[in-house]
């Protein structure tokens, strides 16, 4: 903040933090969804995933 950078936006201070938080939340949601499907016997699985850029 002392360097005059904004909080959000392409070069914002919190941009990477927000991106990590959102990705972790989505990952958790998918994991919970797949676990729930497994419990009730529906065939559902991950097709794999790769590192995002």
Residue 35's nearest CA partner among 22, 26, 46 is 46
d(CA 16, CA 4): 17
Q: Using 50, 70 and 90 to split pLDDT, how confident is the model at 21?
A: very high
Mean pLDDT of the chain: 78
Is pLDDT larger for residue 43 or for residue 45?
43
Q: Using 50, 70 and 90 to split pLDDT, how confident is the model at 24?
A: very high
Question: Residue 30 contacts by C-beta under 8 Å, 6 or more apart in sequence?
Answer: 46
Do 13 and 25 touch, CB atoms closer than 8 A?
Answer: no
Is pLDDT larger for residue 34 or for residue 21?
21
């Amino acid at each position: 903040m002392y360097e005059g950078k904004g909080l959000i936006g392409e070069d914002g201070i919190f941009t990477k933090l927000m991106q990590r938080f959102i990705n972790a939340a989505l990952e958790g949601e998918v994991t919970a969804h797949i676990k729930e499907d497994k419990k009730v016997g529906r065939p559902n699985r991950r097709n794999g995933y790769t590192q995002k850029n």
